[in-house]
Amino acid sequence: MSKEIDPKLLEILVCPLTKETLSWDKEKNELVSKKAGLAYQVKDGIPIMLPDEARKLD
């Protein structure tokens, strides 16, 4: 089940590789870094901001 991410959290989170802002993909429950080409999963409302665990975008 997908949850909303806190908008204030989204404002301060950045990609650990590019340091750029992330976009929220509600359908996939991921934070997306288009520049890095990675999607960071959110588990139980907690973003997993580890590049090694991120999904590569197609």
pLDDT at residue 33, as a whole number: 98
Does residue 1 carry a pLDDT above 80?
no
Phi, psi for 9 (deg, rounded to 5): -65, -40
Instruction: For residue 2, name the pLDDT band (cuts at 50, 70, 90).
Output: low
Sequence ranges of the domains in the chain: 7-56
Three-state DSSP state, 25: strand
Q: How many CB atoms lie within 10 A of CB 25?
A: 14
CATH number of 7-56: 2.20.25.10
Which tokens hold the place of 29?
Answer: 């429950």
Distance CA 1, CA 9 (A): 19
Beta strands, E only, the chain: 23-25, 30-33, 38-43, 46-47, 55-56
pLDDT digits (tens, 9 = 90+) for 10-51: 899 999 999 999 999 999 999 999 999 999 999 988 899 999
pLDDT at residue 14, as a whole number: 97
